[in-house]
Amino acid sequence: MIAVGRAAGRLVHCINPKCFIFKGLEEMIDPTKKTAVVKQHQRHTSDTGSAEVQVAILTERITQLTEHLKSHVKDHSSRRGLLKMVGRRASLLKFLATRNRDKYLAVIGALGLRK
């Protein structure tokens, strides 16, 4: 049985009827998890947009989307979004490495990104 739905103008197909989740919603991070990630990596109490926080949020989204793609191999639109997120994270890490090497090393150490 094929489940079909419409979310944000995109037609969504899924082979498994139990997997009938709209595409824009399944890739979002749980708000409590996002708040915890922001609190762990923020510079000060009202910091929500620093490079460290953005990298941490993107890393959480990338891991979540990678798990999704393991079970939905043919979901090419989500794969494209994953590649865009990886590129954005790489550019933020490059920015951080050139501006503040100590923060860069702390972020990749905390997130376990590099060897």
pLDDT of residue 21: 47
Q: Hey, how many other C-beta atoms are within 10 angstroms of the C-beta on 42?
A: 16
Q: Can you spell out the DSSP letters for 11-52?
A: EEEESSGGG---HHHHTSPPHHHHHHHHHHH-SSTT--SSHH
Specify the long-range contacts of residues 70-74, CB closer than 8 Å, at least 24 apart: 72/14, 72/19
Q: What are phi and psi of 11, to 5 degrees?
A: -80, 130
Report the largest interatomic distance among the alpha carbons of the chain, rounded to a whole angstrom.
53
| Confidence at 16, pLDDT banded by 50, 70, 90 | low
Domain 27-111 fold is Helix Hairpins (1.10.287)
Tens of pLDDT along 45-96?
999 899 999 999 999 999 999 999 999 999 999 999 999 999 999 999 999 9
